[in-house]
Amino acid sequence: MDKEYGFDDLLFVRSVLHRLGAGKVKTFEDRLKSQKVQYFAQSFGVSLQYPYNLYIRGPYSPALAGDLFKMEEKKMIPSSRPFVPEILEMRLKEAKAFMADMNARRLELAATYHWLVKIAKQTPVAARAKLKVLKGADDKEAGYAVAKLREYDRIKKSRIYEA
């Protein structure tokens, strides 16, 4: 059974998503973007952990989907204030910079490729081939996803991610 988060936790997630330019649920693209931004936010260690499975449009969390609608229903107002401790703020800035050039399609491709390599433990070559099949990605799109994973790996080697 998935963990149910309380009001304060949901407000935190809403604030993280807001600061990363996501968290809306009005359109399908809003929900898709929120799913992928949360996926990367938690992989950068700046948001709560939701369980994800691979679905048609990449990694998807039914628990997050439910929480996004709860947040909207309760009209939670996100905070834009810096986080404490400072390390969390630094990680958020890294995540924001990482996703700065990503529209919904690029988020879907990068998150799917990340999931295939990091979660499903496929080799990069196998994951690239699977990405092309699952997402209908051409060579340029697959190359983008591969490059983003390399960038992600470089960022995660930073001292702000040391245990």
- Each residue's pLDDT, cut to its tens digit, for the chain (163 residues) gives 567 888 899 999 999 999 999 999 999 999 999 999 999 999 999 999 999 999 999 999 999 999 999 999 999 898 888 887 888 999 999 999 999 999 999 999 999 999 999 999 999 999 999 999 999 999 999 999 999 999 999 999 987 877 5
Nearest to 103 by CA among 147, 37, 41, 45: 37
Element (H, E) at 145: helix 139-156
Q: Can you say whether the dihedral through the CA atoms of 138, 131, 91, 151 is positive or negative?
A: negative
pTM: 0.89
pLDDT in tens, 37-61: 999 999 999 999 999 999 999 999 9
How many residues appear in the chain? 163
Tokens standing for residue 124: 């990069």
Domain ranges of the chain: 7-161
Contact 20, 37 (CB under 8 A): yes
